[in-house]
Homo-oligomer: A and B are copies of this chain.
Amino acid sequence: METRQWVLDSRPTGEPTADDFALETTELDDPDRGEGLVRTLYQSVDPYMRGRMRDAESYADPWAVGDPMRAGIVAEVVDSEHPDFAQGDVVQGERLYWAEHAVVDGDDLRSVNPDLAPVSTALGVLGMPGVTAYWGLLDVGEPTPGDTVVVSGAAGAVGSVVGQVAKLGGCEVIGIAGADEKTAWLTDDLGFDAAVNYETEDVRARLREETDGVDLYYDNVGGGVTDAVWELLNVRCRVVVCGQIAQYNATEVPTGPRKLAKLIETRGTVEGVLVRDYGPKQWGEAMRQLGSWIAEGKLDYRESVVEGFENAPDAFLGLFEGVNIGKQLVQVAEPKYADI
């Protein structure tokens, strides 16, 4: 059968544009033994994808020009040659494709239970961003009750979970985001102690007002926001580097760190987190805990959904404008085989 898919048409310089993507139609083989044909319901767009579009080695290989763009998807199984999956099952997989249909290795899929939560959450709070938030905060950040925790990109898919989990752990939590609608969500609905709009407020001045310095900084953003927080780091601070979206489109990427002297003053630790370091057992643990909190009404989430597969590039580009609140998704299709 045929499928439409988005391919990387050219490597962007600076801000990506719609011209960097091309919509193609391609023929799919029938699934071999162990494989399945899946039909995408939701496709994820994530800031990390900008890194894969760059022609540079990082923790993963760059995508080739002309190859399909990759993404996490939630899909329904149309046809399965894998013993664990049957037609109508809802599944989730990472590093799959910006495609309406795909033939994939069944070992790259996990089952999604539609009775637990909306299946789209398998790409957000109960998926990669949720697990990143959970282990990035708890394993790398090692918060202690009473810590002052600052989260940048706080209204995003990761940041919104980080802040709520920190609150559940007895921390004081201040979020930084780029719109009043976002900061209102953080304080009014998610229980953050305070939230700062970096577009309209002096971040450093507000943090000075709201805190006695920062014990744990969970950074999804980098750039000027991080510069502002940096000055307020406390002795024995922990900085978790999870994302640096403010710099992903930079054409002249600065080559090194500045003001590391702050770490001598504070004996602070700055450490990176990458979700792929956590194995299936830790994914399971994080998702069970996050799922319980959702069921108990202790953890809230939002999704920003763009409808229509043809709008996937726009959804991706919107990440750099900060248009999303919570997880940004593309709804590719309504279910046809799955009973949800």
Taking the closest CB of chain B, its distance from the CB of A13, in whole angstroms, is 18
Also in contact, A273 and B277, with CB within 8 A (given A244-B261, A256-B258): no
Q: Residue A269 at the B interface, CB < 8 A?
A: yes
Also in contact, A273 and B267, with CB within 8 A (given A247-B259, A254-B258): yes
* B263 pairs with A271, CB closer than 8 A: yes
* B277 pairs with A272, CB closer than 8 A: no
Taking the closest CB of chain B, its distance from the CB of A334, in whole angstroms, is 36
> In the assembly, how many copies of this chain are there?
2
Q: Give the distance in Å from the alpha carbon of A59 to the alpha carbon of B260 in the complex.
A: 14
Q: Residue A253 at the B interface, CB < 8 A?
A: yes
Q: Residue A72 at the B interface, CB < 8 A?
A: no
* B259 pairs with A254, CB closer than 8 A: yes
* B260 pairs with A264, CB closer than 8 A: no
Shortest Cβ-Cβ A-B pairs, 5 listed: A227-B256, A263-B272, A254-B258, A230-B256, A270-B270
**16 additional contacts (CB under 8 A) given A227-B255, A242-B264, A267-B277:** A59-B265, A222-B261, A227-B256, A228-B255, A229-B256, A230-B255, A241-B261, A244-B261, A253-B259, A255-B258, A258-B258, A262-B272, A263-B270, A265-B274, A266-B272, A267-B273
